[in-house]
Amino acid sequence: MKFMTTYDLMETARNTNQWFGATARALGSYPAVAMVPSPLFRMVAAWGEVTERTFARMVAKPDWNINTVVGADGRDHIVSVEKCVTRPFGDLVHFKVHGRPQMRRRVMLVAPMSGHYATLLRSTVASLLPDCDVYITDWHNARDIPVSQGKFDIEDYTLYLVDFLKHLGPDTHVIAVCQPAPLALAATAYLAGEDPAAQPRTLTLIGGPIDPDAAATDVTDFGRRVTMGQLEQLVIQRVGFKYAGVGRLVYPGMLQLASFMSMNGDRHTRAFSEQILRAAKGEAGDHDKHNRFYDEYLAVMDMTAEFYLSTVDRVFKRREIARNVFSVDGRKVDIAAITDVAVKTVEGANDDISAPGQCIAALDLLTGLPAHKKASHLEAGAGHYGIFAGKSWRNNIRPLVLEFIDANSGDPQPARAHLKSV
């Protein structure tokens, strides 16, 4: 499948479906059809509306849409999104709150590179902004990166995190969500050996596969069944002629999306059927619950082939992080070298992506870290999404993370959970 024609064929199919949706919406909306005493044309227009939007947002990067935040003074403060470190494959982005005094908590959110943009953590950012100075890793879509920029694998990812942490300084608190948790742990260990003064103050790992074998899921079962050769032949393609990354080997976002949706096919089918009915009745809104969720969920990005394949091979199959044998640029990364950074793990009891046991395995690897600097939390009833963006995060996990940060910052500041960002 490593041909540009297969990539372009997927884009052609997506574009055609978007066109079909737009056409059906236009035909079903003509005033003349209103004279026909049948709901058929209204249903056609509703199907077209939902279909057009569905396929259009697969290639659109969502906006952050975080405009203001309420400060301790009770005033709305303007928020601007600014790049403070730029790299070919990802930037370090700062949510600058204008007119607000310097916050004591400086948080770097490490967003997943697993098919979705960093905006997947929009609600996480919004919930932290009232109480923290927030930075986030904003990974780029591989299809937009020219081949001349070279490769990007998990070692490069780890070194990007190292550079970002050096830029922010030692009083930084890192929160890594899902996929980057093992690499955030590795980056911290790398700094412990190479530049201890640049280590973060705390490291919070949320729902990450530190040891994938600690608890089986569909993700880990797939990793065991498929060989690396099969995986490379099945999912790796070359970016087509439409994008700046033409010729780059990638794991296409649309293939990833098909994999995501197949895991809960019945739920997605029901959600879209209900949305078509709401649109036909005039009850659907541009920013209703369905569109808010799927505008983000369906916006997918390509991963470089080397990043995806090295993740599967080294993190899941060979378990280099779990066995503490991971190396970066020829240098052994010893997780036991972490002796000063407080580490907390967060897991969801109902997480079907990174099941309970996979993330907390990090604490056993930290043999050089005192027990009082280790913490863990298992959130009852929470799934994967809920532990970083849902009700469980807002009501329980976020306050616990802020308390953990304060307890290990040396300059405690009480959490102000009542403040909101808009």
Length of the chain in terms of residues written: 422
pLDDT at position 231 is 86
Q: 250 forms bridges with which residues in the sheet?
A: 237, 304
Q: Please report the pLDDT score of residue 286 as a whole number.
A: 85
Least Cα distance to 341 among 174, 201, 206 occurs for 201
Residue 411 pLDDT: 53
- pLDDT of 6 reads 85
d(Cα 394, Cα 135) in Å, to the nearest integer?
Answer: 19
Measured CA to CA, the distance from residue 86 to residue 98 in angstroms comes to: 22
Collect the ranges in the chain with pLDDT lower than 70. Answer: 1-3, 223, 410-422
Residue 2: per-residue pLDDT: 66
329-354 tens-digit pLDDT: 999 999 999 999 999 999 999 988 88
What is the bridge-based pairing of β-strands 68-70 and 249-251?
unpaired
CA distance 299 to 365: 36
Q: Which of 261, 256, 244, 259 is nearest to 303 (CA)?
A: 256
Are 336 and 324 in contact by the 8 Å Cβ rule? The answer is: yes
The pLDDT tens digits of the residues spanning 199-237 come to 999 999 999 999 999 887 777 777 677 888 888 888 999
What backbone phi and psi angles, to 5 degrees, belong to 34?
Answer: -65, -20
**Domains in the chain with CATH codes:** 1-58+262-296 (no CATH), 68-227+303-407 (3.40.50.1820)
- Which positions ≥6 away from 16 have C-beta within 8 Å? none
Please give the pLDDT value at position 419.
39
Helical ranges in 36-144 per DSSP H? 40-56, 122-128
> Which pLDDT score is estimated for 418?
37
Pairing of strands 331-332, 172-177: unpaired
| Per-residue model confidence (pLDDT) at position 391 | 87
Give residue 227's Cα distance to chain centre. Answer: 26
Give the pLDDT score at 115. Answer: 87
